[in-house]
Amino acid sequence: MKYYSTRDAERKAAYSLKEAAFRGLAPDGGLFMPEFIPQADMEKVRSLAAVSYADMAIYLASLFFGDDVPADRLEAMIRKAYDFDCPLHTLEDGKDVLELFHGPTFAFKDFGARFMGGMLGLLNDGSEDLTVLTATSGDTGSAVAAGFHNVPGIKVVVLYPEGKVSPLQESQMTTLGGNINPVCVRGCFDDCQALVKAVFNDVAFRADHYVTSANSINVLRWIPQSFYYFYAWAQWTLRHPGQSPDIVVPSGNYGNITAGMLASMMGMPVRRFVCASNANDVVPEYLSTGVYVPRPSVRTVANAMDVGAPSNYERMMCLYGNDFAVLKASLEGFAYSDDQIKAAIADIYARYGYVSDPHAAVGFLAYEASKAEGFYLATAHAAKFGEVIRDAFAQNAPEVSVDEILAIPEGLAKAMAKEKVYTMMDNDVNQLEQFVDSLSR
């Protein structure tokens, strides 16, 4: 399988998987797309999903990557990456939630990051000294650090802003050791991102150092996110034979929902997709007005979805042939304020005894508003957003004791108990380059 750029009108598939994965973005600034969309045998998907998530993922991954890596190594990598659960939880008859937060960092990013870490290890084959540079405002860094931990031949540098990630997120990034090198930058998230970009743009430095990013738009993070849609579909259609589900996705950068759209184009029957936004509602607005107006993001309580110019918009449009009418026929959109999200967290608990993280709560609201029949996605464990949950109950149901209902998972508690090890750094590209250089000596 080769890859083309979303900005190439001729769709010339000029890039190998290794090039697409190591570059992240195409040279013209577009996103990489597979040259064709392989068709999945849905009966096979159903029977493999009944065996395990990993068995199903091995089959689906082979459709894309079978020519790039030997089958036995792909299989071993996937079995190791996907050793956690991905249940479809029923809140009530007709209302299911796909829980994507049972991985090591308790967020859906584990599905993409662990796969990408394993694949880079296979593609790189330990023969080259590759440094993965990533800037994070919290969640991506922890997922990438966990997903790339101990991958041979790969060093990871995670840049995060001093005092601006939660103590829990900092613990997740700074307690792994080994090939994971956390860097605490005296600056904000934008500074971290600018530092990473500056290193990528330093042609002389890159000539001597093999650096890449683990950005969420990377094909190796995007494609494996389509697999959990198949897994949920297989579980849901067992309970609803002969029907196709509506799928509701809390969305920010639109990587997740676009992966679902990829699954549907691979042959997975879906009735409709619904994107659920916080106040950063550019896509729901686009769906109702036909005019796409990206803009700076605003801060919300579902902060991982605070994106005003979603990177994967381009990929989504490309999947639908850049045709607004075709997109609109398969996608609906809804947006919610912070107060609505917090009220929903309390409401879901009151109705179902279920504690929801703020992002999943946005999905829940859109599920109800769209009168969906299918499932919505829960993208993170509620314990990662304790502050928001506390606020939500204080405002909407003060009689509930959050300490009693919000258990911290063992893995998170363990990371918090360990000593944090990181390098402090100024917002200075020379310091960062020296640091990256020192890792290869």
Ligand X SMILES: Cc1ncc(COP(=O)(O)O)c(C=O)c1O
Q: Which is nearer to ligand X, 211 or 378 (CB)?
A: 378
Task: Confirm or reject binding of residue 359 to ligand X (CB under 6 A).
Answer: yes
φ, ψ of residue 79 to 5 degrees: the values are -60, -35
For residue 250, the minimal CB distance to ligand X (Å) is 5
For residue 255, the minimal CB distance to ligand X (Å) is 3
**5: part of which helix (H) or strand (E)?**
strand 3-5
> Within a 13 Å sphere around the CA of 282, how many CA atoms are in the beta-carbon half?
20
The stretch near ligand X (CB under 6 A) out of 11-19, 34-42, 68-76, 253-261 is 253-261
Please state, in angstroms and as integers, the Cα–Cα distance from residue 405 to each residue in 2, 145, 368, following that order.
48, 29, 24
For residue 26, the minimal CB distance to ligand X (Å) is 19
Euclidean distance between CA atoms 412 and 170, whole angstroms:
11
Encoded tokens for 261: 């759209």
CB 246 within 8 A of CB 94: no
Q: Which is nearer to ligand X, 224 or 250 (CB)?
A: 250
Q: Which is nearer to ligand X, 148 or 205 (CB)?
A: 148
- The single residue among 250, 260, 333, 374 that binds ligand X, judged by CB under 6 A, is 250
Please state, in angstroms and as integers, the Cα–Cα distance from residue 66 to each residue in 51, 69, 72, following that order.
21, 6, 10
Q: How far, in whole angstroms, is CA 238 from its chain's centroid?
A: 27
The stretch near ligand X (CB under 6 A) out of 67-75, 194-202, 245-253, 364-372 is 245-253
Q: Which is nearer to ligand X, 209 or 381 (CB)?
A: 381
Task: Confirm or reject binding of residue 253 to ligand X (CB under 6 A).
Answer: yes
Q: Which is nearer to ligand X, 77 or 276 (CB)?
A: 276
φ, ψ of residue 235 to 5 degrees: the values are -70, -45
Task: Confirm or reject binding of residue 380 to ligand X (CB under 6 A).
Answer: yes
Q: Where are the beta strands (DSSP E) in 230-330?
A: 246-250, 272-277
What is the 3-class SS of 9-24, one letter each residue?
Answer: CCCCCCECHHHHHHHC
Please state, in angstroms and as integers, the Cα–Cα distance from residue 133 to each residue in 136, 219, 435, following that order.
10, 16, 11
Task: Confirm or reject binding of residue 251 to ligand X (CB under 6 A).
Answer: yes
The stretch near ligand X (CB under 6 A) out of 54-62, 182-190, 246-254, 341-349 is 246-254
The stretch near ligand X (CB under 6 A) out of 161-169, 248-256, 280-288, 368-376 is 248-256
Binding mask 299-318 for ligand X (x = CB under 6 A): -----xx-------------
CB atoms under 10 Å from CB of 414, counted, come to 12
CB 96 within 8 A of CB 88: yes
| Residue closest to 330 by CA, chosen among 250, 275, 255 | 275
For residue 433, the minimal CB distance to ligand X (Å) is 28
Q: Which is nearer to ligand X, 76 or 317 (CB)?
A: 317
For residue 377, the minimal CB distance to ligand X (Å) is 8
Q: Which is nearer to ligand X, 235 or 297 (CB)?
A: 297
Q: Which is nearer to ligand X, 1 or 276 (CB)?
A: 276
Q: Which is nearer to ligand X, 122 or 380 (CB)?
A: 380
CB atoms under 10 Å from CB of 7, counted, come to 13
Please state, in angstroms and as integers, the Cα–Cα distance from residue 136 to each residue in 58, 182, 241, 302, 373, following that order.
29, 10, 42, 16, 35
Task: Confirm or reject binding of residue 252 to ligand X (CB under 6 A).
Answer: yes
Task: Confirm or reject binding of residue 256 to ligand X (CB under 6 A).
Answer: yes
Q: Which is nearer to ligand X, 109 or 209 (CB)?
A: 109
The secondary structure of 352-418 as a DSSP string is: HS----HHHHHHHHHHHHTT-SEEEEE-B-GGGGHHHHHHHHHHH-TTS-HHHH-PPPHHHHHHHHS
Q: Which is nearer to ligand X, 12 or 390 (CB)?
A: 390
For residue 174, the minimal CB distance to ligand X (Å) is 19
- The single residue among 13, 107, 159, 355 that binds ligand X, judged by CB under 6 A, is 107
How many residues form the binding site for ligand X (CB under 6 A)? 14
| Residue closest to 405 by CA, chosen among 379, 386, 391 | 386
Among residue numbers 129 through 148, which ones bind ligand X (CB under 6 A)? 139
Task: Confirm or reject binding of residue 379 to ligand X (CB under 6 A).
Answer: yes
The stretch near ligand X (CB under 6 A) out of 15-23, 60-68, 161-169, 251-259 is 251-259
Euclidean distance between CA atoms 377 and 108, whole angstroms:
9
Task: Confirm or reject binding of residue 254 to ligand X (CB under 6 A).
Answer: yes
Task: Confirm or reject binding of residue 224 to ligand X (CB under 6 A).
Answer: no
DSSP lists the bridge partners of residue 333 as: 275
For residue 397, the minimal CB distance to ligand X (Å) is 23
Among residue numbers 264 through 303, which ones bind ligand X (CB under 6 A)? none
- Binding residues for ligand X, per CB under 6 A? 107, 139, 250-256, 304-305, 359, 379-380
